[in-house]
Amino acid sequence: MFNIFKKKIKEKKLEELMISDKDYKELKEMYDWQRKVEFNKELLRQNIELFFKFQGPNNFFMTDLGPEKVSQERMYEDMWDMMNEKGYDDPPGDWVPLDPSLRISADVGKSPFDFFKYIRRKKAMDVFDKYQN
């Protein structure tokens, strides 16, 4: 019984953090851009997590000083700094930002986004496009 109250309190707090419908309509372009940037940050983090998962303990990279062990956070920061806005992916309709302050009313009730499925689908489409051209 108490879990129901905790859940309602949690949902209410999330709704307070979310972008209101009124604000979203007034500043749609700004919020859509912020959400697009956030999606690409989350996508990059997931790609790096996959890389480290398959790389295992051998996460050494060559630098000017020789081989160096690199953390996921450092790799993320370095790669994000190199990202070009023109290469950003548009967030799919079923994506829900991890940051509640970037959520909109359309995100309520959606399941967590499956980045690994998205990454596999995107890679498959890239291969398909490569052979189409």
Q: What is the pLDDT of residue 4?
A: 43
Residues of the chain short of pLDDT 70, as ranges, are: 1-15, 127-130, 132-133
66 strand-pairing partners: 63
pTM for this prediction: 0.78
Are 90 and 122 in contact by the 8 Å Cβ rule? The answer is: no
Q: What is the pLDDT of residue 22?
A: 93
Q: What is the pLDDT of residue 8?
A: 45
Q: What is the pLDDT of residue 9?
A: 43
CA R_g for the chain? 19
Q: What is the pLDDT of residue 23?
A: 92
Q: Which amino acid is at 40?
A: N
Length of the chain as a residue count? 133
Tell me how far the alpha carbon of residue 71 is from its chain's centroid.
Answer: 19
